[in-house]
Amino acid sequence: MGYNTNGHTPVMGYLLWIFGFLGSHRFYYGKPITGTIWFFTFGLFFIGWIIDLFLIPGMDRHANLRFYSGHTDYNVAWILLTFLGIFGVHRMYQGKWITGILYLCTGGFFMIGVLYDFWTMNQQISTQNKIFISSLQ
């Protein structure tokens, strides 16, 4: 798979790595279990966070092979989720207006919905992109 600006990028991985002691970059690359561990242990007591600085290029390649690129841009969705998730803007970006508005009114379903989206965002976007690509054929 060639370089695609709608897929995962090392630049975004490193930007999220800055917040990586909370697991952001691990969630971005489709590693929700270790993302959650990083979240609760501050990047595995900051040691895992430092090690990840060198692991990001490999995580990036693996994510781009695993998830479909297409119409919905992972980077935009992840920026919106990371910084505005409680307001549901990432859901509105994906065309999920009803849940986006519900997130806006309930603080991201009391943050549980935001955590759910951290776990499933890549799969949500990959599914949307796969459906979009199929509809073009």
List, for residues 14-39, the tens digit of each pLDDT value. 999 997 778 999 999 999 999 999 99
Structural domain for 118, as ranges: 10-136
pLDDT over 60 at 123, yes or no: yes
Task: Please compute the mean of the pLDDT values over residues 2-18 and round it to a whole number.
Answer: 81
Q: How far apart are CA 105 and CA 128, in angstroms?
A: 25
User: Would you say residue 77 lies in a domain?
Assistant: yes
More confident residue, 136 or 87: 87
Give residue 1's pLDDT.
39
Q: Is 11 exposed, middle or buried (0-12, 13-18, 19+ CB in 10 A)?
A: exposed
Question: How many structural domains compose the chain?
Answer: 1
User: Would you say residue 73 lies in a domain?
Assistant: yes
Q: How confident is the model at residue 5 (pLDDT cuts 50, 70, 90)?
A: low
Report how far apart the first and last C-alpha atoms of the chain are (Å, whole number).
Answer: 19
Q: How far apart are CA 51 and CA 71, in angstroms?
A: 33
User: Would you say residue 5 lies in a domain?
Assistant: no
User: Would you say residue 125 lies in a domain?
Assistant: yes
User: Would you say residue 58 lies in a domain?
Assistant: yes
User: Would you say residue 71 lies in a domain?
Assistant: yes
Who contacts 2 (Cβ-Cβ below 8 Å, separation ≥6)?
none
User: Would you say residue 62 lies in a domain?
Assistant: yes
User: Would you say residue 3 lies in a domain?
Assistant: no
Q: What predicted TM-score, i.e. pTM, was given to this entire model? A: 0.88
Tens of pLDDT, residue by residue over 91-115, are 999 999 999 999 999 999 999 999 9
